[in-house]
Amino acid sequence: VILPCVLQKYVHQSQSLSAGEQEFVLRRKQVVQKSLNKLGITCTLDMVPHIALLGSGGGQRAAVGLMGSLFQMEKDGLLDTVLYLGGVSGVTPQSFCFCFSVFVSGKWFEMTPHQAGFIDVGLFINTTNLGSRIHGAGSDIKGPELDMVTLQGASISFSARNTNSPKTKECNNNNNFYLQLNEKLLYCYLCFLEDASVPSCIRIKEFLQLIDAGVMINMPYPPFLGEKRDTDVLIALEYGADETFRVRDYAAKLKKPFPKLEEKFLKEKDWPRPCYVFKGKKKEPTIVYMPLFNRQNCKAKMKEFSTFQLPFSQQKIEFLLETVKANMRYSKDTLLREIAKAVIRRHIKASGGFPVSI
């Protein structure tokens, strides 16, 4: 795909990690290696597993829950084994390490500290350009830089403008390119292309409203499936009340690797255990699935902590924090076991073999 010259500097198409993310991964792996060695898991740099900690949506419940989970993981020496932190909806203000996502017409949109764009199509802009107004292809003048929390807070109401708009055509004819993020709108030219790889649901509309990804898939699995981030373990912290494994249909449609769910989980999902392990084979990541409310602490509590209600009282907040910390303590041995297995899987991958279920 060849972009118009005015856009080539700002819009790129790729299914590979950005240079900024590659640099981050290399630095972070050194931290992870030291953490694993402290835990008694001997590991060289090329054996460092790609572990992503995923937080589901769920409003205040999810935001408080993630805080408690991160606190306990830090206390247990597990937090620095994580390479990525991803989230949707209620946990996004805390998901600064890498992937925050929203959804539009069946297409997943991610924002990281380095780039933002449509995963399935592979169209991205640099995150540093968000909040800038650029006049002409040769100009590097940017507006005030916006921090990730500001961008995440505004992202639910993103809009994208395409070339069918008369105003956009006028801008193009004048050799101008605008990229501006204000309180409610993101004008970006990810939709400029008339290429067949860009779905009509993105190309044919003047404005696109990107909605909270939690409405469709309430766990940020999509950015961590497949070769791009090549994850070994996904620690899925379930703070929501909905079925989070709708992602299976998404993965099947796009031929993304996703492990098979255990039959006992499908039978027990209305009265779940505190922790499940869905073992990945070959390119599939292993998923450690941890529901907030479970048979260990009474799933009926979910109604009391429903998503849409007034701010939680201090008592509710403290109860939630203690609940998620107890869940993490309960699952610590399971997490350590799966992390150790992931080191072996990563070693097999680095040696050119296909990791099997361990």
Residue 143 structure tokens: 């507006």
Residue 2 structure tokens: 């060849």
Residue with tokens 């992931």: 342
Q: 51-55 and 84-87: which strand pairing?
A: parallel
Element (H, E) at 233: strand 233-238
Q: Average pLDDT of 267-277?
A: 88
Whether pLDDT at 140 is above 50: no
- Specify the 3-state DSSP secondary structure of 110: strand
Are 318 and 65 within 8 A, CB to CB? no
- Alpha carbons 96 and 113: distance in angstroms, whole number: 8
Q: Of 129, 123, 198, 115, whose CA–CA distance to 164 is shortest? A: 198
At 353, the pLDDT band (50, 70, 90 cuts) reads: low
* pLDDT attached to residue 109: 79
Q: Dihedral through CA 290, CA 295, CA 300, CA 304, nearest 10?
A: -50
Please give the residue that has the higher pLDDT: either 184 or 220: 220
| pLDDT tens-place string over residues 82-123 | 999 998 887 776 654 444 455 555 678 788 888 888 888 787
Q: Average pLDDT of 178-191?
A: 35
Q: Average pLDDT of 304-332?
A: 91
Q: Of 281, 279, 343, 355, whose CA–CA distance to 29 is shortest? A: 343
Residue with tokens 């409003």: 59
* pLDDT attached to residue 356: 53
* pLDDT attached to residue 186: 35
Q: What DSSP letter does each residue of 130-198 carry, written as one string?
A: TT----STT-----PPPPHHHHHHHGGG-----TTSHHHHHHHHTT----EE-SS-EE--TT----TTS
| pLDDT tens-place string over residues 41-92 | 999 999 999 999 999 988 889 999 999 999 999 999 999 999 999 988 877 7
Q: 84-87 and 115-118: which strand pairing?
A: unpaired
Tell me if the domain spanning 5-350 has CATH number 1.20.140.10. no
Is residue 197 packed enough to be buried (19+ CB in 10 Å), middle (13-18) or exposed (0-12)?
exposed
Whether pLDDT at 24 is above 90: yes
pTM reported for the whole predicted model: 0.80
Are 288 and 335 within 8 A, CB to CB? yes
Q: 276-278 and 286-291: which strand pairing?
A: antiparallel
